[in-house]
């Protein structure tokens, strides 16, 4: 880790009190508070995965995990927003005109410049070719951060000149879509993961639409054009890094729960035992020791794989499909470990943790929602990994049922 990267991680950890203080209000409004958004912007959190050529840090996998998990110690919704903002690097695959249009605001826009919604989903919007571009319409779910963004990347289906079905990504300006008030959920409420919709067709110029089949070639050009460790990864390494960034949110929330658990156990009195504090109870001590060990084990797995991603990036090596499958399942299991540790701590403290003002209940709810994300759901990932273990033919799918491209 360079001095700059270490400083970025330290700055992120310094935001924890502010993030934790604002998290309840963020839940109530369904988005990050203006103060939280401004603090993340000033700390450079929305640029950690961008290349230096557009003002970013291009952090490697290990440093990304460290930064995202540090933010998550304060607020899972804030960390999730930082994580998904990394998807803006996909816009570097678009033509140069698009890159210039989007990144001219990289230093001034407070919040994520662009968000993605249903890009790899089984259900996407529709596009039809017209002179100079496409007419796009549809509804796209889970546009995390959409209430703070200037642009949105959405998945579309269309036909090529020969009538063949194609899948693509279309870039919409903020004025072209409506944000629906449908993010009514049990956790990660502050992520503003609302659906966005275009009821009547809007025109999207050709340079703002990218065919999915072109991704392998364009990603290789991005690697050649931009510098920084983040842009030396192969395609599978990039997918593993995305998973690492996702599970880093769970790791940070588990750490945050432990921090709050210790603080509260030291001052709360037991309900029906003659100890001066909950911390003096032997059962609490067992829970504390167990929770820390479980979190440490999850962290060790996550950092081990992050370090390997960085090592291979520096060596110009990528991962095999079998390796990606195994690593992804390891990371998914780490999320389960974090959730189990968090549950144990909440139960040890008792009913005081159910207050909406208590960050522990928020962490517990947020990690439950995070674990339902399609990319890290336990059973599907275990099946994919298990087929590889048993030597069965792999399932050649990607994202939400999209056949692998390239």
- Per-position DSSP letters for 251-303, written without gaps between them: HHHHHHHHHHHHHHHTTPPPSSS--SSGGGSHHHHHHHHHHHHHHHHHHHHHH
Domain membership flag for residue 102:
no
Q: What is the pLDDT of residue 132?
A: 97
Q: Is residue 262 domain-shared with residue 330, that is, in the same domain?
A: yes
Q: Is residue 281 domain-shared with residue 390, that is, in the same domain?
A: yes
Q: What is the H or E stretch that residue 169 is in?
A: strand 165-173
Domain membership flag for residue 395:
yes
Q: What is the pLDDT of residue 395?
A: 82
Q: What is the pLDDT of residue 121?
A: 87
CATH of the domain at 239: 1.20.140.10
Domain membership flag for residue 52:
yes
Domain membership flag for residue 100:
no
**Containing domain of residue 237, as a range?**
232-403
Domain membership flag for residue 209:
yes
Measured between alpha carbons, how far is 145 from 150 in angstroms, rounded to an integer? 10
Angle at 289 between CA 286 and CA 293, to 5 degrees: 135
Across the chain, which has 406 residues, the per-10-residue mean pLDDT values are: 69 97 98 98 96 95 97 98 93 96 96 94 94 98 97 96 94 98 98 97 98 91 94 93 97 98 97 96 98 98 98 96 95 98 98 97 98 94 95 73 45
Closest of 39, 103, 94, 49 to residue 71, by C-alpha: 39
> How does DSSP assign 187-222, residue by residue?
S-GGG----EEEEEEEEEEGGGEEEGGGHHHHHHHH
> For residue 352, what is the DSSP state?
G
Closest of 73, 67, 71 to residue 262, by C-alpha: 73
Q: Is residue 211 domain-shared with residue 240, that is, in the same domain?
A: no
Per the structure, the count of domains in the chain is: 3
- By three-state DSSP, how is residue 173 classified? strand
Closest of 372, 371, 370, 345 to residue 360, by C-alpha: 345
Domain membership flag for residue 226:
no
Q: Is residue 211 domain-shared with residue 291, that is, in the same domain?
A: no
Q: Is residue 207 domain-shared with residue 349, that is, in the same domain?
A: no
Q: Is residue 245 domain-shared with residue 353, that is, in the same domain?
A: yes
Find out whether 265 and 352 touch, Cβ atoms under 8 Å.
no
Q: How far is CA 159 from the centre of its chain?
A: 31
Q: Is residue 190 domain-shared with residue 262, that is, in the same domain?
A: no
CATH of the domain at 47: 1.10.540.10
Find out whether 47 and 106 touch, Cβ atoms under 8 Å.
yes
Domain stop point among 174, 189, 221: 221
> For residue 305, what is the DSSP state?
H
Q: Is residue 261 domain-shared with residue 382, that is, in the same domain?
A: yes
Q: What is the H or E stretch that residue 56 is in?
A: none
Q: What are phi and psi of 132, to 5 degrees?
A: 85, 0
Q: Is residue 300 domain-shared with residue 177, that is, in the same domain?
A: no
Q: Is residue 27 domain-shared with residue 119, that is, in the same domain?
A: no
Find out whether 379 and 371 touch, Cβ atoms under 8 Å.
no
Domain stop point among 178, 197, 221: 221
Measured between alpha carbons, how far is 67 from 59 in angstroms, rounded to an integer? 9
Angle at 221 between CA 215 and CA 226, to 5 degrees: 120
Find out whether 346 and 361 touch, Cβ atoms under 8 Å.
yes
Domain membership flag for residue 15:
yes
Q: What is the H or E stretch that residue 126 is in?
A: strand 125-130
Tokens describing residue 153: 């990347």
Domain stop point among 162, 197, 221: 221
Q: Is residue 243 domain-shared with residue 376, that is, in the same domain?
A: yes
Domain membership flag for residue 268:
yes
Q: What is the H or E stretch that residue 9 is in?
A: helix 3-14
CATH of the domain at 168: 2.40.110.10
Torsion of CA 217, 221, 222, 226, to 10 degrees: 170
Long-range contacts of 91-97 (CB under 8 A, 24+ apart): 91/151, 91/153, 91/171, 92/51, 92/222, 92/225, 92/226, 93/210, 93/214, 93/215, 93/218, 93/219, 93/221, 93/222, 94/171, 94/207, 94/208, 94/210, 94/218, 95/207, 97/207
Q: Is residue 316 domain-shared with residue 367, that is, in the same domain?
A: yes
């Amino acid at each position: 880790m360079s001095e700059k990267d270490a400083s970025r991680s330290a700055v992120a950890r310094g935001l924890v009190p502010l993030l934790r203080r604002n998290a309840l209000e963020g839940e109530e409004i369904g988005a990050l508070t203006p103060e939280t958004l401004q603090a993340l912007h000033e700390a450079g959190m929305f640029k950690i995965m961008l290349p230096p050529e557009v003002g970013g840090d291009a952090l490697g996998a290990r440093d990304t995990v460290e930064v995202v998990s540090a933010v998550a110690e304060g607020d899972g919704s804030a960390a999730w927003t930082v994580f998904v903002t990394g998807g803006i690097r996909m816009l570097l695959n678009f033509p140069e005109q698009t890159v210039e249009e989007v990144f001219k605001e990289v230093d001034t826009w407070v919040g994520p410049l662009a968000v993605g919604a249903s890009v790899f989903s089984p259900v996407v919007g529709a596009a039809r070719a017209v002179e100079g571009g496409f007419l796009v319409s549809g509804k796209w779910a889970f546009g995390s951060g959409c209430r703070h963004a200037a642009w949105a990347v959405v998945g579309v289906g269309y036909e090529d000149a020969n009538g063949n079905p194609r899948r693509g990504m279309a870039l919409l300006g903020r004025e072209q879509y409506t944000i629906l008030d449908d993010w009514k959920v049990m956790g990660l409420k502050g992520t503003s993961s609302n659906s966005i919709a275009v009821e009547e067709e809007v025109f999207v110029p050709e340079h703002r639409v990218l065919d999915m089949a072109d991704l392998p070639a364009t990603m290789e050009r991005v690697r050649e054009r931009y510098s920084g460790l983040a842009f030396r990864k192969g395609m599978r390494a990039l997918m593993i890094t995305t998973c690492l960034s996702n599970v880093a949110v769970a790791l940070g929330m588990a750490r945050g729960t432990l921090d709050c658990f210790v603080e509260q156990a030291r001052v709360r009195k037991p309900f029906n035992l003659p100890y001066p504090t909950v911390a003096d109870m032997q059962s609490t001590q067992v829970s504390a020791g167990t929770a820390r060990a479980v979190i440490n084990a999850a962290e060790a797995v996550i950092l081990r794989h992050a370090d390997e991603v960085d090592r291979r990036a520096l060596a110009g090596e990528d991962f095999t499909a079998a390796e990606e499958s195994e690593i992804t399942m390891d990371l998914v299991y780490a999320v389960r470990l974090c959730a189990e540790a968090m549950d144990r701590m909440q139960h040890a403290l008792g009913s005081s943790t159910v207050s909406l003002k208590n960050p522990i209940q928020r962490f517990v709810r947020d990690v439950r929602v995070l674990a339902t994300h399609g990319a890290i759901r336990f059973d599907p990932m275990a099946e994919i990994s298990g087929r590889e273990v048993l030597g069965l033919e792999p399932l050649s799918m990607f994202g939400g049922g999209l056949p692998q491209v390239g």
